[in-house]
């Protein structure tokens, strides 16, 4: 097979993988005027449109940069390139690109995106998700908690004391026992929580029902599970021990996608 076809496939891959201006300029030389990119979800037609899609910074460009890409391999009269990506949450697991040619110019690119599959159903909070939530404050990704106040207004706040209390409950040590969150959940216990770590493309969404526990053993354990920096804001332990019964949990990260549903 002509080396120019290999060069063409490599140029397109380099542009798609990096989005860099020089790589895109090189790829443009190897595209036919009527080239088509079939992503599996849509068809992009024409040299200018295809060049735009394989250039610049797109949502998965950062993933593509970290992937391992094969050399172009013959597949009949076509060339195929495969890529495997590190585990990065919602990012694809791999990519297949099949190139067709008109002479030495790329006339068609068939793109196949490989995903990690549907979420795994679980009946308890997985240990690695426990680790992500319990380390959220140390990681600089504190959990966002949303509740509805007594007037019906949704409220969101960062809660650095959020931890996993057991296999089916989260806990938050609330410094002000009479504050908005514990007060509101007496009327409407429904809450939602969001954890997001963009570095690993990890997202955890929790829906649950909250209540304040007056049990002294629960209060002791939750306070002691709370990061020290949060404890130092309430050294007298005057706050409220808020427990959240998990109703639904959806988590995606390097360890895969998980779904937990109690109702």
194 three-class SS: strand
CA-to-CA distance for 186 and 75, rounded, in angstroms?
65
CA-to-CA distance for 26 and 10, rounded, in angstroms?
10
Q: Token digits for 258?
A: 């998980």
Residue 244: the pLDDT is 98
- Give residue for tokens 């890529």: 83
Strands 105-114, 31-38: pairing is parallel
CA-to-CA distance for 81 and 68, rounded, in angstroms?
10
Residue 86: the pLDDT is 80
Q: Token digits for 125?
A: 């909070």
Residue 1: the pLDDT is 47
Q: Which residues contact 39 (CB under 8 A, 6 or more apart)?
A: 111, 113
CA-to-CA distance for 233 and 249, rounded, in angstroms?
29
pTM of structure: 0.69
Return the bridge partners of 251, or none: 204, 258
Q: Which residues contact 226 (CB under 8 A, 6 or more apart)?
A: 161, 163, 173
CA-to-CA distance for 228 and 216, rounded, in angstroms?
19
Give the gyration radius of the chain's Cα atoms. 25
Q: Is 178 exposed, middle or buried (CB count within 10 Å of its CB: 0-12, 13-18, 19+)? A: exposed
Residue 141: the pLDDT is 95
Give, rounded to a whole angstrom, the gap between the first and last alpha carbons of the chain.
Answer: 59
Question: In degrees rounded to 5, what are phi and psi of residue 21?
Answer: -60, -45
Structural contact between residues 100 and 108, judged by C-beta atoms closer than 8 angstroms: yes
- Reported as type and span, the H/E element at residue 118 is none
Vertex 236 angle, CA 230 and 241, to 5°: 60
Each residue's pLDDT, cut to its tens digit, for the chain (263 residues) gives 459 999 999 999 999 999 999 999 999 999 999 999 999 999 999 999 999 999 999 988 988 998 999 999 999 999 999 999 887 766 788 999 999 999 999 999 999 998 876 788 999 999 999 999 999 999 999 999 999 998 999 999 999 999 999 999 999 999 999 999 999 999 999 999 999 998 888 999 999 999 999 999 999 999 999 999 999 999 999 999 999 999 999 988 877 788 999 87
């Amino acid at each position: 097979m002509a080396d120019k076809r290999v060069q063409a496939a490599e140029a397109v891959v380099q542009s798609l993988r990096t989005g860099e201006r020089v790589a895109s300029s090189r790829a443009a030389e190897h595209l036919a005027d009527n080239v088509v990119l079939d992503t599996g979800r849509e068809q992009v037609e024409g040299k200018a449109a295809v060049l735009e899609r394989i250039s610049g910074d797109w949502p998965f460009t950062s993933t593509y940069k970290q992937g391992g890409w094969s050399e172009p391999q013959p597949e009949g009269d076509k060339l195929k390139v495969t890529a495997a990506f590190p585990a990065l949450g919602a990012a694809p697991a791999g990519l297949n690109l099949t190139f067709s040619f008109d002479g030495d110019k790329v006339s068609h690119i068939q793109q196949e995106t490989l995903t990690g599959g549907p979420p795994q159903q679980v009946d308890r909070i997985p240990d690695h998700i426990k680790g992500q939530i319990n380390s959220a404050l140390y990681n600089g990704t504190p959990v966002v908690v949303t509740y509805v106040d007594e007037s019906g207004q949704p409220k969101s706040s960062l809660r650095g004391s959020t931890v996993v209390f057991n296999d089916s409950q989260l806990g938050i040590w609330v410094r002000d026992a009479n504050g908005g969150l514990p007060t509101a959940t007496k009327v409407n216990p429904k809450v939602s929580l969001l954890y997001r770590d963009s570095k690993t493309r990890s997202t955890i969404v929790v829906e649950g029902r909250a209540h304040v526990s007056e049990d002294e053993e629960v209060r002791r354990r939750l306070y002691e599970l709370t990061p020290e920096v949060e404890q130092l804001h309430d050294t007298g332990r005057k706050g409220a021990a808020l427990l959240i019964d998990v109703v639904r949990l959806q988590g995606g990260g390097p360890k895969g996608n998980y779904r937990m549903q109690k109702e």
